[in-house]
A and B are shown apart, each in its own frame.
Chain A
Amino acid sequence: MVATLVNYQARQLSAQQSLVFHDALLDVRKAELVSYTKLARSAISDVYAGENRTDESKRERVKQILTTLAYSDDGYFYAYELDGDNVVHPKQPYRIGKNWWNLSDAEGQLIIQNLIKQAQQGGGYTEYLWEQPSLGLVGKKLGYAEMLEEWGWMFGTGIYIDDIDNKVAEINSIFDRQIRSTSLAIMGIASLAVVIVFGSGLILRLKERNLASSRLQLLTKRIMDTQDEERRRVSRELHDGISQQLVAIKYSLEEASHKAGPEQNAIQSLISISERHIDETLHEVRRISHDLHPSILDDLGLMAAVDALVEQFRMRTGVAVKFIKVPFRNLLPTDAKTALFRVTQEALSNIERHSGASSVGISFELKNGWFELNIQDNGIGFENGDKNNTDIEFGLGLRNMAERMSYFGGRFNIRSSSKGTTLTASIPRKVIGIQHQQSSDLQ
């Protein structure tokens, strides 16, 4: 009974974890740009496709419309001819009529060429540095461009994305105060926010949107943390509570058997059957508890937990694994430890299911201020793997891993070829701090 209940709970938890909903959130910003562009296109479509004007007057009218379509302080539309001549720029009118084909930003990105290339491929995004009109400062911008085919114009718009980073701290505190209800309710609000954002198009101001999408990102972090915490709690409860009680029951039965004496055959055989059942139940509870959250991670640390994982993997698959550890324990806080453990788990499960690898190398290393996990295999790589029905799940797994790392300001990188796959996940040293707890406990 207990097992079924917990099993069910565990399944529920992992189903939640793979919720597709944060996929959409990451793309909110991009989708925004597209919908602005759509709105702009519909605003000019009458003129652009109209019959009763000369071409020249149509162009003039479209320039006017695009110029007036400003949204918020920094939202505007630009248009260029395919040779790089600017035709519309409401915020920097000095650009109009001049050629900007070779315009590049501080990092050497050929801005206009990139935008034109994206537009010619049917519409696309490009990132570059650009002066932000309202502040007069250079900021990182995400641009989106499409073609007006008939005239050979590229037109588009952009959003400043580092502005968002700067607001995270501010949003953080707002978020903390505002969102403390259940994750379901928050998800409701969040999806509603997305709907509103899409629905109101140009009306909604940039700032509010940024607020919403950063909140959502924090929200997914919180949901993930809550799930990890919940798994841990249930796992602990099973191990420290139910397992111990089962053992205690076993001891009592033994006492009963002792008191009854060896001549009571019927009683003795009943007791020994019960004892066997208890052993089986114990085994089952331990397995479930371990699947939910390996207590070894808390007790002995990441290296020991990965060691156990590797051992199980080796026994199950027969694949050779070389594991290189760092000689320390408890360098990472619990959530970071859990994140790296789950990444390793996910990677090993991918290797088992898709790669056909015959050898795997796992290493942890402290270098240049980073705590780095490296996992490589000699399998077929995921370009060549069986993609039919595993693709979505696989992609989600990778995204989960990347997201888990990003919460710690970490890095996540995966390279795959027909010779194998290499995954790197690292966490910056600033999250690392040795626990002084055991020394103070001893005083």
Chain B
Amino acid sequence: MKVIRIVIVDDHPLVLDGLRARLNRTEDIEVVGEASDGAKALDIVRELKPDVVLMDINMPKLNGIQSTQAILDLYPNTILLILSMHDDREYVSSAIESGARGYVLKSASADEMFNAIKAVSSGGIYYSAVIADQLSSKSVSSVDSLTEREQVVLDMLASGLSNKQSAASLGISSRTVETHRRNIKKKLGLNSTPALIRYAIDSGLGKPVE
């Protein structure tokens, strides 16, 4: 069996050490790199092209959800597995929205963690059992929330930036920006770009931060 190459992103050195020791005990898994925040994670993913990134959520600067989006925008083939202390449903759904393929609690047993990594690396998805229960009790909600990235794109649109300008400023392709816009329209139930701009401005977006 092919060894799964892993990068761990966590800002807590003790946890990082513990995880490395834990994961390296399995022959199928090799920890090839570590990063202590989202920005460093981007660099290391670019450099090492790992199979799976284990991503913590609570980190200074870019948090794990934002980092996941950023990594997937640039390297869509990377597999992201969120590793977190939080078992609230909202964290999990945000992780899914951001494109992560699984969500495991840090307090999970070693076996569960191995299973999760193997499942996502072979194309599946994985959620800790506790979380799967939470997900089944979905709340009644009127609208889908925009992801943070979608909201930034919408804000740039309301500020008068073109597709190209937004793409350049975010360091992603115009096509990705266009996809974001399409998804935003779908989520908000709007069918034209002018309607989208009006909606964004009515909502107070597109203004400089004071």
Contact = CB atoms under 8 A, between A and B. Distances in A.
Interface of A: 239-240, 243-245, 247-248, 250-252, 254-255, 258, 279, 282, 286, 295-296, 299-300, 303-305, 307-308, 310-311, 321-331, 366, 369, 371, 429, 432-436, 438-439, 441-443
Interface residues of B, number: 58
A243 B70 CA distance: 27
B118 to A, nearest CB: 18
A244 B169 contact: no
Interface stretch (B44-52, B86-94, B121-129): B86-94
9 contacts: A251-B22, A255-B18, A295-B86, A323-B140, A369-B204, A434-B209, A436-B209, A442-B170, A443-B169
Nearest to B137: A311
B56 to A, nearest CB: 9
Given A296-B88, A299-B65, A239 B152 contact: no
Interface in B122-165: 137, 139-146, 148-149, 151-152, 155-156
Contacts of B156: 439
A441 B39 contact: yes
Contact of A434 (B38, B141, B205): B205
Given A296-B90, A327-B188, A434-B155, 17 more contacts: A239-B85, A240-B58, A308-B90, A321-B139, A322-B140, A323-B140, A325-B142, A327-B187, A328-B146, A328-B151, A371-B204, A429-B204, A434-B205, A436-B155, A436-B209, A441-B38, A442-B70
Counting chain A CB atoms within 10 Å of each CB, the highest count among B15, B63, B85, B140 belongs to B85
A329 B151 contact: yes
4 smallest CB-CB distances across A and B, nearest first, come from A251-B18, A248-B14, A304-B90, A244-B12
A337 to B, nearest CB: 14
B25 A258 contact: yes
A248 B58 contact: no
Contacts of A436: 152, 155, 209
B139 A323 contact: yes
A65 B133 CA distance: 79
B37 to A, nearest CB: 10
Nearest to A243: B85
A311 B106 contact: no
Nearest to A370: B204
Interface in B41-85: 57-58, 61-63, 65-66, 70, 85
Contacts of A438: 62, 66, 148-149, 152
Which of the listed residues B25, B94, B188 has the most CB atoms from chain A within 10 Å of its own CB? Answer: B94
A308 B61 CA distance: 24
Interface of B: 11-12, 14-15, 17-19, 21-22, 25, 38-39, 57-58, 61-63, 65-66, 70, 85-86, 88-91, 94, 106-107, 110, 137, 139-146, 148-149, 151-152, 155-156, 169-171, 187-188, 202-205, 207-210
A36 B205 CA distance: 51
B109 to A, nearest CB: 8
A308 B89 contact: yes
A245 B107 CA distance: 11
Contacts of A299: 57-58, 63, 65, 91
A325 B145 contact: yes
A251 B106 CA distance: 10
Contact of B94 (A300, A321, A327, A328): A300
A305 B86 CA distance: 13
B17 A248 contact: yes
B185 to A, nearest CB: 12
Nearest to B169: A439
A435 to B, nearest CB: 7
B146 A327 contact: yes
Nearest to B10: A244
Given A300-B90, A327-B144, A331-B204, A439 B107 contact: no
A329 B203 CA distance: 12
A366 B22 contact: no
A326 B154 CA distance: 14
B89 A311 contact: yes
Contacts of B187: 327
| Interface core residue of B61, B148, B207 (most chain A CB under 10 Å) | B148
A429 B151 CA distance: 17
A209 to B, nearest CB: 33
Contact of A245 (B14, B19, B91, B171): B14
Contacts of B169: 439, 443
B14 A244 contact: yes
